[in-house]
Structure 1
Amino acid sequence: MKTTIAQAANYEEQTVTIGAWLTNKRSSGKISFLQLRDGTGFMQAVVAKNDVSENTFQLAKNMHQESSFYITGKIVEDKRSPLGYEMQVENIELIHEANDYPITPKEHGIEFLMDHRHLWLRSKRQHAIMKIRNEIIRATYQFFNDNGYVKIDPPILTASSAEGTTELFHTKYFDEEAYLSQSGQLYLEAAALAFGKVFSFGPTFRAEKSKTRRHLIEFWMIEPEMAFVDHDESLEIQENYVSFIAQSVLKNCQLELAALHRDISKLEQIKAPFPRISYDEAINLLKEKGFSDIEWGEDFGAPHETAIADHFDKPVFITNYPADIKAFYMKPHPDHPEVVLCADLIAPEGYGEIIGGSQRIDDLELMKERYEQHGLTGEAYEWYLDLQKYGNVPHSGFGLGLERTVAWIAGIDHVRETIPFPRLLNRLYP
């Protein structure tokens, strides 16, 4: 019976065959302990000299790290194993003998590991992080599909910026100017006015020369847009979504969280509703915490976000930022037009902003004013102005950065480990 490590528990006291790689081994006289991986998980296989042929025992004893093989044996209970079982080996069929694998079971510098990212992905830690990433993606699709959203794929090559910034990757599109998308939001607004509730999940690009542990050049975003939804309703959707993915990881990634030594008590608290604090209140809180130089109208940096988040035991919404430091499409507060109906969701434990969202402008004359203020003239934005002309409605949306969310839920210090092949300021390889 051919199976996988993840399914082997279903075959207790039965003999099975698994295709695997060797991650490590140790031998003691007449017994060898092989640490296996097969992509679905990690497991120990025990090779006893008295239970196998001499060729099989010598093969087990002499195989090198990352050699590949089919291994056959009985699945037995082992309470010391995280999986709860191991294999008693009967036979090994070598597929490929690996020699001089560069990532040995010792400490390596981060630059060395990043240079060998194509191989580093095989490690137990990276496997756990990628499985958590995958669970967040799976839960994302479940949440939005179960709640009546339609997935829409916005273009990656665009003629304009979603937020009117200059931090874009520029390219030629035949005889036109084009950019790599930094957000699909504007296109999703158009889709929301066609389908009601939509979401996208795809890569985005920011040409920011940043080296912080929170920034990537290429990253993935989940961006929902919702017609007939106001700002407060959007906040409820956001907190329910984040709660859902956190609880899904807790339920389905117990082995991976344990492998990363994640304090799951922190994640168990991630349940809606989340606390909310206005920008004005956040300024006052920061001054109380010793940030005496912070002034109204300034954006918050990482130290400010961390200080605010430390005041709560859940993610916290900071709402109603000054209009001057937010994007042109955000709707002004009806009672305080100097601020906009927006919110950033700040993750606890120093992970910073994971969501930015707002209610969008739905007034043609106001949008024309914004165009003039931000210099958004020209054909590139004409289609977006059409949304205001033809049947616009109150609508809201937000964007969640996947890699920052993975880092927070998995308890990872740097976002470079939360994406298979990170693109950083100094790294385009491998």
Structure 2
Amino acid sequence: MLKTTISEVYKYVDQEVKIGAWVANKRSSGKIAFLQLRDGTGFIQGVVVKSDVPEEVFQAAKAVTQESSVYITGKIQKDERSPFGYEMLVTGIEVIQAAVDYPITPKEHGTEFLMDHRHLWLRSRRQHAIMKIRNEIIRATYEFFNEQGFVKVDPPILTGSSAEGGSELFATKYFDEDAYLSQSGQLHLEAAAMALGKVFSFGPTFRAEKSKTRRHLIEFWMIEPEMAFYDHEDNLKVQEEYVSHIVQSVLKNCELELKTLGRDTSKLEQIKAPFPRITYDEAIKFLHEKGFDDVQWGDDLGAPHETAIAESYDKPVFITHYPTSLKAFYMQPDPNREEVVLCADLIAPEGYGEIIGGSERIHDYELMKQRIEENNLDLDTYKWYLELRKYGSVPHSGFGLGLERTVAWISGVEHVRETIPFPRLINRLYP
């Protein structure tokens, strides 16, 4: 018997095949049973007609329980009514393991219940679709940066200092000295860029931030490119081309998943470079015109402010040239206006907030030393980072894209907890 997967059945129309699967759901009448089957690659309906199969096969179809594992054989045929386009006329069922009292039933469940059973919730059609979109974004990320001549570099997760200079760090002991879980691989990637030109990383980052918003996770994944000889303008072009690439890749390769989630793809079809840009000054003026009198020049922009700005555009929008006081110590000041830096946050449409933060980095030794001291950072700890400005320093830029927020935006999911297999939140370290 030919063995295949659900995603490959289109190759075997009118042929009999064998698939290893789980029974996601079922319904039956006196003469026919419908089995909703999944195997990780996709979902397909298995139709068991009593008159066409031995009695024991039909009885097995009626008795099989939700999430039981099976080997199922049958003939593949096209089905225009199915979102997948195919169904299986079942001829045989072999139960591998019969599941009893599966906790997640087709009825409604509360969020906490589903989060407690995240290891099982991942099996649902909705979660399957989100994870497939996440995977496509990752695949397209490697494709984009490889085609652009970037080298993948893996910065350390255990570090002796903070990339941002902040206090939201997870501390641990590294034998007899203090260490921290990485907030960002940026500083080490700058060193790699001085050796390899254009580099990027993809890995986990950690923020001990006591936030409960739908946009925040304690552990999340970031894509972080760093580029030697790239200025602020060059940096923005890479960002908009990269985001355009991943959105169009999802539209092309995840049509069924987007349909499963009910995503309005017309909004995604507009996401093509170039993206609109406004300065921080213009953002403050705009917010005042919209009645946000609570925010003044020098204040950071919160979620309501970002959403109000994003609603004026049908593409992601760059907010550039933030005040120096709001941003990290390593950002290059505007040569024409030192109170602002050459940076940008990329705000996604539809209320999803910032998905990218980036900047041109300071490349002058004396200025970087001054900024380290002004931010009360230990010069010895940052000695190696400062030395990058001592031995062949060049203008360079980079950015970081938060994967989970990007998955949420592209897939249309409200909360980032659904965009990572096992979310880590303030109150959740299980499962």
Give the TM-score normalised by structure 1: 1.00
Match of 2:49 in 1: 48
Letter of the structure 2 residue corresponding to residue 139 of structure 1: A
Do the aligned residues in 1 keep the contact of 2:373 with 2:379 (CA within 8 Å)? no
Q: Deviations over 1:190-212 (max 9, x none)?
A: 00000000000000000000000
How far 1:174 sits from its partner (Å)? 0.4
In structure 2, what is the Cα distance between the partners aligned to 1:368 and 1:38?
A: 56
In structure 2, what is the Cα distance between the partners aligned to 1:417 and 1:357?
A: 26
In structure 2, what is the Cα distance between the partners aligned to 1:306 and 1:23?
A: 38
In structure 2, what is the Cα distance between the partners aligned to 1:312 and 1:79?
A: 37
In structure 2, what is the Cα distance between the partners aligned to 1:99 and 1:313?
A: 48
In structure 1, what is the Cα distance between the partners aligned to 2:178 and 2:319?
A: 36
Q: Deviations over 1:99-155 (max 9, x none)?
A: 100000110000000000000000000000000000000000000001000000000
Match of 1:178 in 2: 179
Match of 2:306 in 1: 305
Superposed, 1:265-304 pairs within 5 Å as 265-304=266-305
How far 1:235 sits from its partner (Å)? 0.2
- Structure 1: gaps (5+ residues): none
Match of 1:105 in 2: 106
Q: Deviations over 1:339-384 (max 9, x none)?
A: 0000000000000000000000010110111011001124221100
SS in 1 for 2:338: coil
Match of 1:75 in 2: 76
Superposed, 1:199-218 pairs within 5 Å as 199-218=200-219
In structure 2, what is the Cα distance between the partners aligned to 1:242 and 1:378?
A: 36
Do the aligned residues in 1 keep the contact of 2:17 with 2:75 (CA within 8 Å)? yes
Letter of the structure 1 residue corresponding to residue 156 of structure 2: P
In structure 1, what is the Cα distance between the partners aligned to 2:23 and 2:380?
A: 58
How far 1:28 sits from its partner (Å)? 1.4
SS in 1 for 2:95: strand
Letter of the structure 2 residue corresponding to residue 277 of structure 1: I
Match of 1:27 in 2: 28
Match of 1:85 in 2: 86
Match of 1:114 in 2: 115
SS in 1 for 2:350: coil
Letter of the structure 2 residue corresponding to residue 397 of structure 1: G
SS in 1 for 2:96: strand
Match of 1:158 in 2: 159
Letter of the structure 2 residue corresponding to residue 219 of structure 1: F
Does 2:409 align with 1:408?
Answer: yes
In structure 2, what is the Cα distance between the partners aligned to 1:29 and 1:76?
A: 23
Match of 1:371 in 2: 372
Match of 1:421 in 2: 422
SS in 2 for 1:7: helix
In structure 2, what is the Cα distance between the partners aligned to 1:377 and 1:100?
A: 57
Q: What percent identity do the matched residue pairs reach?
A: 75
Match of 1:227 in 2: 228
In structure 1, what is the Cα distance between the partners aligned to 2:381 and 2:51?
A: 75
In structure 2, what is the Cα distance between the partners aligned to 1:9 and 1:3?
A: 10
In structure 2, what is the Cα distance between the partners aligned to 1:167 and 1:51?
A: 64
Q: Deviations over 1:299-323 (max 9, x none)?
A: 0000000000001110000000000
Q: Deviations over 1:18-48 (max 9, x none)?
A: 1010011111111100000000000100001
Letter of the structure 2 residue corresponding to residue 375 of structure 1: N
Q: Deviations over 1:278-314 (max 9, x none)?
A: 0000000000111012100000000000000001110
Letter of the structure 2 residue corresponding to residue 222 of structure 1: I
Match of 1:333 in 2: 334
In structure 1, what is the Cα distance between the partners aligned to 2:356 and 2:294?
A: 26
Match of 2:5 in 1: 4
SS in 1 for 2:33: strand
Q: Deviations over 1:35-76 (max 9, x none)?
A: 000000001000011111111110000110000111111001
SS in 1 for 2:6: coil
In structure 1, what is the Cα distance between the partners aligned to 2:349 and 2:44?
A: 34
SS in 1 for 2:188: helix
Give the TM-score normalised by structure 2: 0.99
SS in 1 for 2:34: strand
Letter of the structure 2 residue corresponding to residue 29 of structure 1: G
- Structure 2: gaps (5+ residues): none
SS in 1 for 2:339: coil
Do the aligned residues in 1 keep the contact of 2:198 with 2:227 (CA within 8 Å)? yes
In structure 2, what is the Cα distance between the partners aligned to 1:31 and 1:346?
A: 51
